[in-house]
Amino acid sequence: MPTQRPGPVNRDPVFHREVGRDYPVVDRAEGAYVYDSRGRRYLDAAGGIFVVNIGHGVREVVDAMAAQAGRAAFAHTTVFTSEAELGFAQKLVDLAPSGFTKAWICTSGSAANETALKLAREYQLIKGHPERTKIIARWNSYHGSSLGALSMTGQPRRREPYLPYLQDFPHIEPPYCYRCPFDLTYPGCGLACARALEAAIEEAGPDTVAAFIAEPISGGPLGTIVPPKEYFPIIREICDRHGILMIVDEVITGVGRIGHNFGIDHWGTVPDIITAAKGIGGGYVPVGAMLVHERVYAAFEDAGRSFRHGETFTGHPVICAAGAAVLDYVRDHGLIARSAAMGRVLGSLLQRLHDIPIVGDIRGEGLLWGIELVRDKAARAPFPRERAVAEKVAKVAFETGLLVIAGTGCADGVRGDTISLSPPLTLSEAQAGELVDALETALRTVSVVEMAVARA
């Protein structure tokens, strides 16, 4: 008889993200706070996971979803569009840089980036370049969990188990001034990180590359890296010269997160495709979008060719109604300008953390900030991965009522600890102070232990 396997430690029916962990049960959320079933309150400095931009519990969004569900919850987009889809798409392109005229609505950031990958392929086919099949991305980036998006993703930890399934796409180093992979210093570096795209195109074969994809500001894995002002203009020029599409992944930075409509506006650069998710639905629905510049859409229109792609829930009316209500709330409450203003407040408050021994770098823009943790400031030496320092800081913060995002692998794909902050754009000055106080407590608590271990 087969040996009976022991039952799981956790008896609930959910296949959780982490095996053997007991999860608290969320009970309710309001504004910038989340409450669990034990009555504990947490300041949501993570925005869930870069998602909650207008705050929890906004009645206008809930009412818009209910109204649309009562009117027509579903109509397949091979047959119908809806007022909700038309309205949401228009609001998105109105926020986008000049020349963006079309939006494809889907259900996640992964789906949006997968859609962009496929659109880049079909665009090159229409243009008569069937050999252009490669997408160049950056190391330590994250573009999603589906296989195409994961092929573009550059974070080794996420890629390694699935390498047999992934496309062998080229990757270049990110614009990481704190740990310049070229051992150079800005501005005397000549933006080697941007010009690396040219070398990667030449190595791959200029006639084989369809597109380049990058996040305006890197998210969790790299702990909020802000490129120099010249970076994206150089990228745009290289893409234009080689006839490849420039895709910006705005899943985290879109719609106000860094104090601009879209993050790429910070660099004054107009890409060909923008992908968005997270904040465009505020956490109320799973949503993603691909925004397309008119010059790309025109290729399909001129060829009389449709985009051969789709999902069951593309353009879902309730999702679109929620997204439109979120964008209306952002506009009506001036949250994009508020993000820029409160970002300056939060950034200023965070500077006092520099004197904590494990804090190596503090960086960010708007209401997206990252703190890199090191065991030696002078050498910028990362902690051994087995110390799990970022996770320890997040755990202590959680125990004191603060939600933050722990990131790993920024230094070399494995080592390198970061804490990322992405609070709601509705954050008040008092809440910003509460956030930094709690984070300082967590960092100092862990610092005492880890510095003692490092000296031992």
Residue after which a domain boundary falls, among 272, 297, 332: 332
* 306 and 216 housed in the same domain: yes
Pairwise CA distance, residues 53 & 422, whole Å: 8
Count CB atoms within 10 A of the CB of residue 388. Answer: 15
Is 402 within the bounds of a domain?
yes
Q: Are residues 432 and 349 in contact, defined by beta-carbon separation less than 8 angstroms? A: yes
Same domain, 203 and 323: yes
- End position of a domain, from candidates 297, 332, 367: 332
Distance between CA atoms of residues 407 and 247, nearest Å: 24
| Pairing, β 26-30 against β 171-172 | unpaired
SS (H, E, C) 71-109: HCCCCCCCCCCCHHHHHHHHHHHHHCCCCEEEEEEECCH
344 and 382 fall within a common domain? yes
* Stretch (H or E) spanning 420: strand 417-421
* Residue 383: inside a domain: yes
> Do 209 and 312 share a structural domain?
yes
Kindly give, in sequence order, each residue whose CB lies less than 8 Å from that of residue 90, ignoring residues fewer than 6 positions away.
none
DSSP letter at 9? Answer: S
Let me know whether 84 and 215 are in one domain: yes
pTM to 2 decimal places:
0.95
In a domain, residue 135? The reply is: yes
Does residue 79 lie within any of the structural domains?
Answer: yes
Contacts of 412 by beta carbon, 8 Å cutoff, 6+ apart: 382
Give me the number of domains the chain comprises: 2
Q: Based on the fold, state whether residues 196 and 284 are members of the same structural domain.
A: yes
| Per-residue pLDDT, 20 | 83
Are residues 90 and 139 located together in one domain of the fold? yes
Kindly list the strands in the beta sheet with 26-30, ordered across the sheet, starting from the edge strand earlier in the chain: 26-30, 33-36, 41-44, 402-403
Whether the Cβ atoms of residue 181 and residue 193 lie closer than 8 Å to each other: yes
140 in the same domain as 43: no
Low-confidence ranges of the chain (pLDDT < 70): 1-10
Distances (CA, A) of 359 to 277, 343, 442: 31, 19, 12
Region of 223 (left: φ > 0; alpha: ψ -120 to 50; beta: rest) is left
Beta partners for 68?
none
Check which CATH number belongs to the domain holding 265 and give it. Answer: 3.40.640.10
What is the C-alpha separation between 252 and 257, in angstroms, rounded?
A: 7
164-192 as b/e: b if 16+ CB within 10 A: eeeeebbbbbbbbbebeeeeeebeebebb
Same domain, 326 and 339: no
Q: Do 259 and 377 fall within a single domain?
A: no
Q: Are residues 312 and 189 in the same domain?
A: yes
User: For 56-92, b where at least 16 C-beta lie within 10 A, e where not — what string?
Assistant: bebeebeebbeebeeeeeeeebeeeebebbebbbebb
Domain residue limits at 402: 26-54+335-455
Q: Is residue 17 situated within a structural domain?
A: no
The pLDDT of residue 12 is 87
Task: Report the C-alpha gap between 288 and 300 in whole angstroms.
Answer: 22
What's the pLDDT at 1? Answer: 45
Answer whether residue 419 is part of any domain.
Answer: yes
The per-residue pLDDT for range 42-78, each reduced to its tens digit, is 999 999 999 999 999 999 999 999 999 999 999 999 9
pLDDT attached to residue 19: 87
pLDDT at 359: 98
CATH number of the structural domain spanning residue 34: 3.90.1150.10
Structure confidence at residue 10 (pLDDT): 60
**84 and 153 inside one domain:** yes
